[in-house]
Structure 1
């Protein structure tokens, strides 16, 4: 069963890291092109694949989000799943890459789409920032805000899974994953080797790769003076085992296999059954 993984810009389509990663379908400039062109693009994907999963970050332009929902509605297709990731742009790109690996393994499309929420828990996303004065996605203390005005300041920030902000050069450290991971680094308008010389060794990274910074990253982090990083599970065999071990059910509406409590294609949730009398209660 063929499943296409689509992203909303070319820089969200990370180069395949091995022969087990399918190419991404790029929905480029959907906020600028005519609606008819977007409909034709999506219909062409549906003609080549049985299902399409679109992954995008929260920083994607609102016009793109509206266009995605409009196209899905007009095509009246339950073969299109929209997956807005809560991760920063580089993390969303990594997640899309992992789904491309699962798609190569021909996993069920409902399972692949739902795997996005599962795999999100194993992605650690952060950045080195020149300033945190416009950082809205992570809570920043008054001291960090004040320190941002010092020209030599640099901040290490974790956005997911547990928000954290430290000033680089202090004894504070960023909490990392407790399992074997690779790291991806994307450099913006800031130069620093702190990630490769300090953070990656402290996190015991198995390897480090570099890529271009997504264009949406500056808006998400509130500055273009940053270096974004992300640690993730690299081995497709581990991804397959992790997803395959999750409990599956059948969507009661569209009939495909899913994991978790919601079908990403039709948004149906399992029926809520009445709680038996006495369950969770003590009768007097």
Structure 2
């Protein structure tokens, strides 16, 4: 991980922690190379997950380290999820890392699992928010004192003005837990209205990631992420997908793109996913 506040506590004693790949201002290139080299020696492979909002210098550092080490055992996964959603995804990959999946399957599973994380926020203003299209009328409403907006960035982008009859039209179709992180907002809408509407099985709290205010365009927010908590369901979900070998680097993968070298599968090799994995909703995994 590229930020310590994106490393959530483990859900059990078996889930390993994550290593921190620090920013250039916090660590020299020589030290960074040494740390990653040590991780490779200890574990064999490194799967580095980082959000799209990362500083360009930090992203360049990651690629520089991989280039200097000339290693095909380092996967760099840039994830287009809000910060709390990234933290949830990283924990799920940590859970899967102790299963009998190869490093290539774990790395390519990130794209699949991202489709099952409903990541959003309650915002008190959308004037500086550009992750989901916001029309002029909604922008004008955001200037009205007391306005609140419910936004889901993925898997299906949604934005509604919070009111007595407002609801997000699309929620999870399977059993989830809800992780909530409060910023400079005292609103209870997420826990008192959204959670019952989405029929979440359990609520959990976390500290707001440092990058959340910049990602959402305001510090006055409550960020949330609904996710699959059960390792057995995650395992079945990933195991149900056809496995192939990357024609470029040879790593095992699921979906249509290698997690290590980013090479896509030739079109003729693309396969549909198996159905009937999740316990509720009879939802088949989308293409990753």
TM-score (normalised: structure 2): 0.89
Q: Does residue 130 of structure 2 align to residue 173 of structure 1?
A: no
Match of 1:282 in 2: none
**What is the aligned-residue RMSD (CA, Å)?**
1.3
- Partner SS state of residue 171, structure 1: coil
In structure 1, C-alpha distance between the alignment counterparts of 2:256 and 2:156, rounded to whole Å = 23
Q: CA deviation at 1:271?
A: 4.1
Checking the alignment, whether the CA contact within 8 Å between 2:104 and 2:258 is kept in structure 1 is: yes
Checking the alignment, whether the CA contact within 8 Å between 1:59 and 1:217 is kept in structure 2 is: no
Unaligned runs of 5+ in 2: 269-288
2:118 to 111, 120, 124: 124
* Structure 2 counterparts to residues 85-234 of structure 1, below 5 A: 85-174=79-168, 175-234=170-229
Range with greater deviation from structure 2 (162-171 or 115-124): 162-171
Checking the alignment, whether the CA contact within 8 Å between 2:242 and 2:254 is kept in structure 1 is: yes
Greater Cα radius of gyration, structure 1 or 2: 1
In structure 1, C-alpha distance between the alignment counterparts of 2:157 and 2:264, rounded to whole Å = 29
Checking the alignment, whether the CA contact within 8 Å between 2:132 and 2:153 is kept in structure 1 is: yes
Q: CA deviation at 1:170?
A: 4.0
In structure 1, C-alpha distance between the alignment counterparts of 2:142 and 2:242, rounded to whole Å = 46
Q: CA deviation at 1:31?
A: 4.3
**Paired residue total:** 267
In structure 1, C-alpha distance between the alignment counterparts of 2:243 and 2:181, rounded to whole Å = 35
What do residues 191-249 of structure 1 show as CA deviations (whole Å, max 9, x unaligned)?
11111111000000011111011111111101111110000000000000000010001
TM-score (normalised: structure 1): 0.90
- Partner SS state of residue 206, structure 2: strand
What do residues 65-88 of structure 1 show as CA deviations (whole Å, max 9, x unaligned)?
111111111111010000111111
Q: CA deviation at 1:272?
A: 5.8
Match of 1:33 in 2: 27
Match of 1:262 in 2: 257
Match of 1:69 in 2: 63
